[in-house]
Structure 1
């Protein structure tokens, strides 16, 4: 799975972009332990993880010595998107595995995730 994170400016233009590749099956396995918490806390709380990890990405992206933190934030964003889409929207494991993710981080801290099917 390819994860792309784009930082947007006030005009909606991409000012920075990063990519990482992950094994989506492994991500799903890690996130299984968080499904009960996501259900307990609710949809708003679960989706709230995206701006949290988006902020972490923005704070670490392009900073020398923080490359691993930026990668971790991208993976956490993907995990949060999986939890929300699976628990609250009925996304199947196979649908997630067969997709790439694009996250757009806006100046107001909003994060938009687009899932693109690749198979």
Structure 2
């Protein structure tokens, strides 16, 4: 029984190291999304930090600020969704069958 417990602990430690490595790799990744046919581009890292925003001059219209705001929101939400999807895909391999609430990685 004691040997079985030691093996299980070793397996858990191995899995924890793999999870930490996968999470570090995710944090180093770059994600990019655009809207308005590429007029707005938002870049973020795997930590969900926005690292760059590019706005094409032709989309800047002082009479239509609402459109610019909508394009920025769309690109930002898209890039965040990409990060969420990649995180779930990457970290999900470690939590399959564990019935953990969403976001608990």
Normalising by the residue count of structure 1, what TM-score does the alignment of the two structures yield? 0.29
Higher radius of gyration, 1 or 2: 2
More strand by share: 1
More helix by share: 2
Q: Which has the higher contact order (CA 8 A, sep 6+)?
A: 1
